[in-house]
Amino acid sequence: MEGGAGRGLECQKTMDGKASNGNGSEKAIPSCCLKARASAPEAEAKCHSTVVSGWFSESQSRSEKASKKVYFNNPMWPGEAHSLKVEKILYKGKSEFQEILVFESSTYGKVLVLDGIIQLSEKDECAYQEMIAHLPLCSIPSPKTVLVVGGGDGGVLREVSRHPSVEHIDICEIDKMVVDVSKKFFPQLSVGFQDPRVHLHIGDATEFLRHAPKGKYDAVIVDSSDPVGPAQELVEKPFFETIARALRPGGVLCNMAESMWLHTHLIQDMISVCRETFKGSVNYAWASVPTYPSGVIGFLLCSTEGPPVDFKNPVNSIEKLEGALKHKRELRFYNSEMHSAAFALPPFLRREVSALCHSSTSTLPR
């Protein structure tokens, strides 16, 4: 986009906390410019490099030399950085894989951040965890064996365990520290680990899937972080092939699939790869999650060849499952209407992601 550099310079003027109105007098910075403040080095970043002037921003920071901090756009959402006001930093640590931060926000409750990227907030986690779990599990009759990839906070497990038909839940999370931090700070999510059907495996998901018996799972749910760094291979063909192998005929995959506002190329690539790999249905759905970049998140739903799966019309509706609506806690976001609505796609997405048009089971009218 033209003019970006010029706007950047304007922002620099606000770094001292004041802005000039051009006639020599100074005025307070409008709140919209607070975001801009976080995009440059600041002495005030005293608690954590992503927290500047009391605001967490989802841009990344990296120390070049010990004393010098360099702030830059996150490559997944260049030119923007959603901010939350921080009340208190509750935890900061570094695992073998990533930097972990937990803070109390002013308006979204506690927030979990990995490598500078928001994973969940207490206020809106329900939308993501409920949708990523129930979109696939309500699309097949009586799911019994489920694998969760990632999801170390336990929120997806909490949702999967609402399903009374489920007998066995494997979870493969690479970073044990995420599980431990969640158990300490997010008991409403980590409650998912308490279900006796859950079996936790700490390790690499591709390895885990390679050794999984062929056709073992009715459903696989990939609750990954963004595909930069360690999660990169989770959007590539070999990974999807191992999932397809581990699913039974007519088994289902639900994979986090980023934002339709920001990542149409990635969505296009994922759909193309999944269409080659999964010979049943491939559909895209989405939900509103205010703390994720652009405020929405997508889900890619795929089924293997076998009994046909109509993702848009749940055959295993949650309202009919005994005890499901209130298991551990009440559902907050998901119901059968939200399920079907999630597959309605705006025209711009249909136009930009041509892969959505190339199947009898796509969400597009033919």
Residues at the contact surface with ligand JFQ, assessed by CB under 6 A = 117, 119-120, 128-129, 151, 153, 155, 223, 225-226, 256, 292-293, 297
- 362 to each of 129, 146, 219, 300, 345, how far by Cα in Å? 24, 24, 20, 11, 11
Three-state secondary structure string covering 197-211: CEEEEECCHHHHHHH
Neighbours of 32 (CB within 10 A): 7
* Beta carbon nearer to ligand JFQ, 255 or 363: 255
Closest approach of ligand JFQ to the CB of residue 60, in Å:
13
For 305, phi and psi rounded to 5 degrees?
-60, 140
| Of 65, 37, 77, 32, nearest in space to 226 by CA | 77
| Of 247, 181, 157, nearest in space to 209 by CA | 247
* Beta carbon nearer to ligand JFQ, 38 or 235: 235
Closest approach of ligand JFQ to the CB of residue 306, in Å:
28
**Dist CA 109 CA 107 (whole Å):** 6
Closest approach of ligand JFQ to the CB of residue 198, in Å:
15
* Beta carbon nearer to ligand JFQ, 245 or 328: 328
Q: Annotated catalytic sites, by residue?
A: 223
DSSP string, 280-314: S-EEEEEEE-TTSGGGEEEEEEEE-SSS---TTS-
- Give Cα 20 distance to the centre of its chain: 40
Q: Which residues of 118-155 are buried (b: 16+ CB within 10 A; e: fewer)?
A: bbbbbbbbbbbbbbbbbbbbbbbeebbbbbbbbbbbbb
* Side-chain half-sphere exposure of 169, counting CA atoms within 13 A: 29
* Beta carbon nearer to ligand JFQ, 159 or 218: 159
Closest approach of ligand JFQ to the CB of residue 286, in Å:
12
* Beta carbon nearer to ligand JFQ, 239 or 292: 292
CB 260 within 8 A of CB 296: yes
Closest approach of ligand JFQ to the CB of residue 280, in Å:
25
CB 122 within 8 A of CB 110: yes
What residue number has its CB nearest to ligand JFQ?
A: 119
Closest approach of ligand JFQ to the CB of residue 207, in Å:
21
* Beta carbon nearer to ligand JFQ, 153 or 175: 153
Residue that has been written with the tokens 């300490």 in this structure: 184
Closest approach of ligand JFQ to the CB of residue 117, in Å:
5
| Of 76, 34, 70, nearest in space to 52 by CA | 34
* Side-chain half-sphere exposure of 107, counting CA atoms within 13 A: 7
**Dist CA 14 CA 17 (whole Å):** 5
* Beta carbon nearer to ligand JFQ, 153 or 218: 153
